[in-house]
Amino acid sequence: MFLSKIWFILVALFAGVSLSIALTAPRPMVQKLQELEGQRLDRAEYATEQMLKVDAHKWIDRVARLGRDAVLAEALDSASRGSGELGVQHRTVQVRIQALLPDLAGAGIATIVAVDANGRVVARVGGDDDKNFGENIGGAELIDDALRGFLSDDVWGAGGRLLRVAGAPVLSKSRDRIVGALYVGAETGAQFAERLKKNLDVDIALLLKGKVIASTIPAEVLSGLPDMVEQHRQDIDNLKRTPALPIDVGNETYLAVAAPFPGQASLQKAYYVLIGKKPAHADMGSLLASTSAHDLKWGTFPWIPLLVTILGIIAVGLFLQRFEVDGPMQRIRAELRALVRLDGAKLNDHKYGGGFGGIARDVNAALEHVSIAMSGAHPLGNHAMADAPAAGSAFSEGESHFAQAVRPAAGPPLIPGLGAPPPPAFAPPSDDGGPAPSSPAQPAFGAAPTSSEQDEDAHIREVYEQFVATKKECGEPTAGLTLDKFSQRLHDNRAALMAKHDCRTVRFTVYVKEGKASLRATPIK
């Protein structure tokens, strides 16, 4: 079962490594994706800034062109000089602007306002208050700039709306003095956000005074956005933008980069926020939750390699189990059944390795032990413990001299009294290396001893005589050491050692150790 165990360990290691990779591999990937998304938002923010800048120049050009209109210049000049009715001038300018720009909404214009050289509103076009005129708005920085001669842009936040405005002076017909100014306000709301989203492929939210005034995703779910941006006011002041910040929108997590609008709207907490979806979390649940049916399709998921791998692992495991477990188990069962049918003397333990080999040898030893017990004078099961050499005795000492266990030769009849079994299926090698002799017919229980037993008795008697003589030489007492007892003990010891060390027989030799007679047992294969 060695290979099966190794295979099991390898499969477990493989599964552990695979699981570890499956759990950890997405993390750096998710971090990288998040970093890339942050960089994408950075680029989008830069692009937005450039777009706003280009847009601002475009609006300045437009309003400057509009300011070169002679009718407008004449009407504003008249209003600045205080000549004529302001109401008439209001209508003149309004009609003229409407004639020049008939489709304000189509041009993305929310309002156009004309002021005279004193900063007084002469006419408005677009918006809800195009009937109002006459108030002074010269205090606005953009208007003041235009009346001084500058073309400039700004962003205003008023009435909950955000306007990108561009202003330009209106020169007199002779182009030698400033007679007024025009400014154009461009819509900066939902349409602007949609345009940005279309161009940049990121979601947009516009903030003003701590509120979301327009966004490409529902504003309700962005309720926490103004506070989050305000918390990073320091970054905005220093860097003109925030780093990519994670925000929870409903069940989704997004990354957001906020940047301020320029101009006076920056005093009104006016920001544009670019929002990109944050990559999924790297935990197993999130990864599985983000898996779609498409990911599991045949063409997408490597089903065939996966199935081949799984089947291969199973096949190798089954093969190893059959090779190392099922096969030996079947064989050993078959042999045991044969033994029961008296078709053999013992198990052929050569054929088995590992644990099964050990089981076969144990079974053989047990059978031999039973055989010996039943053939001897001792009742079965008593002799082993009762006759074991006492600790410290000469017999016990001899056991320590076994160099190694050796395979026992085919033994005597195993089950006396049950008739003579046929020769065993296997033939252990003989001492001279020749073919093992076939077992003779086994005597029935209580029959006369065989020649080999007689040899053994002779050997024991010889050892006994040597042992008694050696003890006498060593000055040890020999009273009570009868041949019967000595022989019985050596028989018992021999049987035990044969069972334990799997040897054919045991030869004893007498020697002196530390002034005492001792016995050495030597296994014979």
Partner 1 sequence: MTSLRTFVPLLLLALPLPALAGTVKGTVRVPDTVRSGRMNQGYWRLENGNVPVRPSSRKAGTVVVLQGISGTHPPPPRTVTVEIAGLTATPRFVVVGPGSVVEFKNTGKITHELSVPADETLMPVERLNPGTFRHQKFGVPGGYLVRCSEYPSLAISVIVVDSPYYAVVDDKGAFSIPGVPDGKATLKVWAGGRWAHEESIDTNGKDLSIRIESAKSANQPEAKEAEGTGKEGDSEGKEPDPKGSAE
Which residues of the chain form contacts with partner 1 (CB under 8 A)? 52-53, 56-57, 60, 64, 119, 132, 134-145, 147-156, 158-159, 168-169, 171, 175-178, 209, 240, 262-264, 266-268
Shortest CB 202 distance to partner 1, Å: 21
Q: Please, which residue, 152 or 505, has the CB nearer to partner 1?
A: 152
Shortest CB 41 distance to partner 1, Å: 21
CA distance linking residue 278 with residue 30, whole number of Å: 9
How many CB atoms are closer than 10 A to CB 280?
A: 16
Shortest CB 282 distance to partner 1, Å: 39
CA distance linking residue 423 with residue 294, whole number of Å: 71
CA nearest to 226, candidates 240, 206, 244? 206
Q: Please, which residue, 263 or 408, has the CB nearer to partner 1?
A: 263
Check: CB of residue 275 under 8 Å from CB of residue 205: yes
Q: Which residues contact 353 (CB under 8 A, 6 or more apart)?
A: 328
CA distance linking residue 436 with residue 479, whole number of Å: 43
Check: CB of residue 183 under 8 Å from CB of residue 67: no
CA nearest to 246, candidates 35, 48, 29, 27? 35
Q: How far is CA 308 from CA 293, 312, 316, in A?
A: 22, 6, 12
Q: Please, which residue, 253 or 266, has the CB nearer to partner 1?
A: 266
Shortest CB 83 distance to partner 1, Å: 21
What is the greatest pairwise CA distance in the chain? 160
**CA torsion angle for 298, 299, 302, 304 (degrees, to 10)?**
60
CA distance linking residue 223 with residue 232, whole number of Å: 16
Q: Please, which residue, 72 or 332, has the CB nearer to partner 1?
A: 72
Category of 514 on φ-ψ map: left (φ > 0), alpha (ψ -120 to 50) or beta: left
Shortest CB 243 distance to partner 1, Å: 19
Check: CB of residue 66 under 8 Å from CB of residue 100: yes
Q: Please, which residue, 135 or 201, has the CB nearer to partner 1?
A: 135
Q: Please, which residue, 82 or 149, has the CB nearer to partner 1?
A: 149
CA distance linking residue 377 with residue 394, whole number of Å: 23
CA nearest to 232, candidates 211, 258, 207, 268? 258
Shortest CB 193 distance to partner 1, Å: 19
Shortest CB 303 distance to partner 1, Å: 57
Q: Which residues contact 214 (CB under 8 A, 6 or more apart)?
A: 162, 189, 190, 192, 193, 204, 205, 206
Q: Please, which residue, 137 or 363, has the CB nearer to partner 1?
A: 137
Shortest CB 84 distance to partner 1, Å: 21
CA nearest to 246, candidates 269, 210, 286, 273? 273
CA nearest to 192, candidates 208, 172, 169? 208
Q: Please, which residue, 31 or 132, has the CB nearer to partner 1?
A: 132
Shortest CB 135 distance to partner 1, Å: 4
Q: Please, which residue, 43 or 233, has the CB nearer to partner 1?
A: 233
User: DSSP 3-state assignment of 252?
Assistant: strand
Two structure tokens written together for 372: 């010996």
Q: Please, which residue, 61 or 473, has the CB nearer to partner 1?
A: 61
Shortest CB 118 distance to partner 1, Å: 10
Question: Phi, psi (5° rounding) for residue 397?
Answer: -70, -35
Shortest CB 215 distance to partner 1, Å: 22
Shortest CB 268 distance to partner 1, Å: 6
Check: CB of residue 91 under 8 Å from CB of residue 72: no
Sign, Cα dihedral of 465, 469, 474, 477: positive
Q: Work out whether strand 271-277 and strand 252-260 pair parallel, antiparallel, or are unpaired.
A: antiparallel
Q: Please, which residue, 152 or 375, has the CB nearer to partner 1?
A: 152
Shortest CB 53 distance to partner 1, Å: 4
Check: CB of residue 135 under 8 Å from CB of residue 118: no
